Amino acid sequence: MRERVYHDRRPLAVALRVVAIIILAAVLFCVFAFFWFRQYIVVENGELRLDLPWEQTEEIQQGEAEGT
């Protein structure tokens, strides 16, 4: 009969490594998104807002077309 040999795989270390990779990926995504949308971040009256071109209303677009 074969004896079972215990291979120490350290499940806690593997789980922590997976969690660390997921956190690192999330942080990198947030940094990338910040630099990607940096040109659309607007500060008005001390408040931050994201002014995306495809979310502008028709009034704003017409005003820009008229030059006002």
- Tens of pLDDT along 46-61? 888 888 777 776 655 5
Residue 56's φ and ψ, nearest 5 degrees, are -75, 145
More confident residue, 2 or 35: 35
Pairing relationship of beta strands 41-44 and 47-50 according to DSSP bridges: antiparallel
Q: What is the pLDDT of residues 34-47, one digit of tens each?
A: 898 888 888 888 88
pLDDT band at residue 31 using 50, 70 and 90 as cut-offs = very high
3-class secondary structure, 59:
helix
Which contacts of 51-59 are long-range, i.e. CB under 8 A and separated by 24 or more positions? none
Please say if the pLDDT value at position 63 is more than 80: no
More confident residue, 14 or 60: 14
Distance CA(19)–CA(15), nearest Å, equals 6
Instruction: Identify the DSSP state of 37.
Output: S
